[in-house]
Amino acid sequence: MRRLLPALTGAALFAATGLAALATPNVASAADCTPAQVVANGGFESGGSSWSAPSGAITADTGQSAHSGSSYAWLDGYGSSHTDTLSQSVTLPAGCGTATLGFWLHVDTAETTGSTAYDKLTVKLGSTTLATYSNLDAKAGYVHRTLDVSAFAGQSVTLAFTGVEDASLQTSFVLDDVTLDVSGGGTSPQPGDPTRTPAAPTYTVGLTSDSSGGSWTGHESVTFTNASPDPLNEVYLRLWDNAHGSCPSTPITVTNVTGGTPSPLTVNCTALKITLPAPLAQGQSGTVAFDLGITVPSGADRFGHDGAYNFLGNALPVLAIRDAAGWHLDPYTNNGESFYSVAADFAVTLDHPSSLLVPATGTSVDTPGTAGRTVTKATASKVRDFAWGAGPFTKISGTSAAGVKVNVYSVAGISAADSQSMLSTATSAVDVHAQRFGAYPYGELDAVLDNNFWFGGMEYPGFVLDLVSTTALTHEIGHQWWYGIVGDDEYNGPWLDEAFTDYATDLALGKTGNGCWNSVSWASSAERITNSMAYWDANSSRYSTVVYGYGKCALHDLRRTIGDSAMTTLLRNYAQAHWYGVSTTAEFKAAAQAATTVDLGSFWSQHRIDG
């Protein structure tokens, strides 16, 4: 959740980033993945085997040198108009959610300009241009380049390097050790906690609304697997929105449970224990199902209605996590978030009056229902939650330069100009974040606007609630990566999504964070960036200042400590390593230390980052 921030125009956001859009198709649904390297003969030691290349381009000539071994690919270098293309067909397995193209590039040029790109090397996968280099990238030796190509999972495409030289002054593009590594298929626990379970949930939901879209009834089932070596005797459902009621009178009701025996609600009616018929051993699966009722309370909230407009964030019961610390049954917090879940698949059918638009997580398809009604079927793969809205919204749509469909839904009172500005912001922001951390995998993004939201903005996978504010919307879209794709325990480690997202927002808006740590003033010796929501609920006036403000300033300082390039690589690689997984402070600190020769011990202490 994000407090209200100053607004900028969508055009200002795009101008501030200085980033070109990366056109990528959608990611295929991930399954189990065997990590692999799919480029053949990437070191060119077998000559032209597996490659299509001009005669003499793959060579061991002494005019240039290999990065490793004795052979390499030498494109251009003639000092006259010339084009060389090196290509190979590659297949990326559908089950692997992470794919990284890597290669060593040496650019040698006789050009003397420091500002004009006369000679260019273009890297393409299929019809998509991934990157372009030129005589301006000339260096004395090889530079390792990496590009995220996760969006091409499940495709067979041509990898091509094309060098184009103008009429005078040679530029040589020398390539070696080309790799395309695939990994990261499923939702299996991260190495830091192999006990995290239940894993790989699949939710199937069918709900029918009343005439207003504020009351829903139907059925939900969830199938899951025990990933832990310890038996799974029970599961817990989190009925988060019961915190908005007065227990035991609750807005979320679960009845007629099958697949286990329910116990009375606990944790202010937000936790429902279901004892399984028999313990599940590691690798075994189970299913629980139940009838579900949802009544949306009054209020412009993440779960509430503002007049005719209903917002249903955290309304579907979802499985709690058991890890090395035991079951996570933390209380609901209105100050931030309590949510902690693994990536899951959702298939949700919403039957509603045709007069209502229903933005939702995932990709939606509308079909006619009974007289005067529409059935919206929304499917979402590898998401941590499912949210939707219902009301007489005004909808406009666009597509980002990278091919992400963006829909903006506005309540009455939001001008057409403001809606259009936010659409421009959203289409730009989703591509900017994707270029830094990895391709947006969900294909579609819904932004629901209401200037009555007291909280500024709120993130869900593929679905955000927001005010008309470029900064706030850029932040909430950044949460698609930091909380959504890269998960965390939002109650016990809120900095892992809020600080990282605010840092990403600064980068997207061209803010360097210079000097921001100079304004840090701790309220007490107990105050830490890494404190849990239990601490921040008791010290609520300091939550935003420390977790958002000091947190992002610490990341800016880390960037200055290890260097811009190292920080860029660290965050991209960290996101890829935790794609659809869960981040912890200890894992991030270890990754940061591995990215630099600087001892970061005093850095963590100074910035009060524990864990």
Sheet containing strand 271-280, strands side by side: 261-262, 271-280, 232-238, 318-319
Q: What crossing angle do the helices spanning 416-437 and 564-577 adopt, rounded to 10°?
A: 90
**pLDDT value, residue 95:** 75
How confident is the model over 309-337, as a mean pLDDT? 96
**pLDDT value, residue 97:** 72
Average pLDDT over the chain, rounded to an integer: 91
> Distance (Å, rounded) from C-alpha 609 to C-alpha 218?
45
Q: What is the DSSP string of 170-197?
A: -EEEEEEEEEEEEE--S-PPPTT-TT-B
Report which of 523, 543, 525 is spatially closest to residue 534, judged by C-alpha positions: 543
The hierarchical CATH code for the domain 36-183 is 2.60.120.260
pLDDT digits (tens, 9 = 90+) for 482-520: 999 999 999 999 999 999 999 999 999 999 999 999 989
**pLDDT value, residue 476:** 98
C-alpha separations of 333 from 330, 374, 539 in Å: 9, 35, 13
User: 10 Å Cβ neighbour count for 417?
Assistant: 9
**pLDDT value, residue 451:** 97
pLDDT digits (tens, 9 = 90+) for 408-453: 999 999 999 999 999 999 999 999 999 999 999 998 999 999 999 9
Catalytic residue among 111, 165, 444, 476, which?
Answer: 476
Q: What length does the chain have?
A: 611
**pLDDT value, residue 477:** 98
**Which residue ranges does the chain devote to CATH 2.60.40.1730?**
190-392
Return the higher-pLDDT residue of 372 and 188: 372
Q: Is 413 left (phi over 0), alpha (psi -120 to 50) or beta?
A: left
* Residue 9 pLDDT greater than 80, yes or no: no
Q: Is 41 left (phi over 0), alpha (psi -120 to 50) or beta?
A: left
pLDDT digits (tens, 9 = 90+) for 182-205: 776 544 444 557 789 999 999 999
**Which residue ranges does the chain devote to CATH 2.60.120.260?**
36-183
pLDDT digits (tens, 9 = 90+) for 341-369: 999 999 999 999 999 999 999 999 999 99
498 is in an annotated binding site: yes
**pLDDT value, residue 18:** 35
Strand segments, DSSP code E, in 354-393 are 363-368, 373-383, 388-390
pTM score > 0.75 for this model? Answer: no
> Mean pLDDT lowest for which of 57-71, 95-109, 393-407?
95-109
Contact in structure between 336 and 545 (CB atoms under 8 Å): no
**pLDDT value, residue 145:** 86
**pLDDT value, residue 154:** 83
305 is in an annotated binding site: no
Q: Give the confidence band of 149 by pLDDT, cuts at 50, 70, 90.
A: confident
* Residue 1 pLDDT greater than 90, yes or no: no
**pLDDT value, residue 192:** 56
Domain 395-482 class?
alpha beta
Q: What proportion of the chain, given as a percentage, has pLDDT over 90?
A: 81
337 counts as catalytic: no
3-state helix, strand, coil in the chain (%, to 5): 20, 35, 45
The hierarchical CATH code for the domain 190-392 is 2.60.40.1730
Contact in structure between 466 and 313 (CB atoms under 8 Å): no
118 counts as catalytic: no
**pLDDT value, residue 14:** 32
Going by C-beta distance under 8 Å and a sequence separation of 6 or more, which residues neighbour residue 491? 328, 330, 333, 337, 338, 339, 340, 532, 533, 534
Return the higher-pLDDT residue of 97 and 352: 352
pLDDT digits (tens, 9 = 90+) for 566-592: 999 999 999 998 999 999 999 999 999
* Residue 24 pLDDT greater than 50, yes or no: no
Catalytic residue among 548, 550, 574, 580, which?
Answer: 548
**pLDDT value, residue 17:** 34
* Residue 116 pLDDT greater than 60, yes or no: yes
> Distance (Å, rounded) from C-alpha 541 to C-alpha 526?
15
How confident is the model over 456-469, as a mean pLDDT? 96
* Residue 604 pLDDT greater than 60, yes or no: yes
475 is in an annotated binding site: yes
**Which residue ranges does the chain devote to CATH 3.30.2010.30?**
395-482
pLDDT digits (tens, 9 = 90+) for 253-292: 999 999 999 999 999 999 999 999 999 999 999 999 999 9
**pLDDT value, residue 168:** 94
**pLDDT value, residue 430:** 96
Q: What proportion of the chain, given as a percentage, has pLDDT over 70?
A: 93
* Residue 88 pLDDT greater than 70, yes or no: yes
Q: Give the confidence band of 294 by pLDDT, cuts at 50, 70, 90.
A: very high
C-alpha separations of 479 from 311, 533, 555 in Å: 18, 18, 16
**pLDDT value, residue 159:** 97
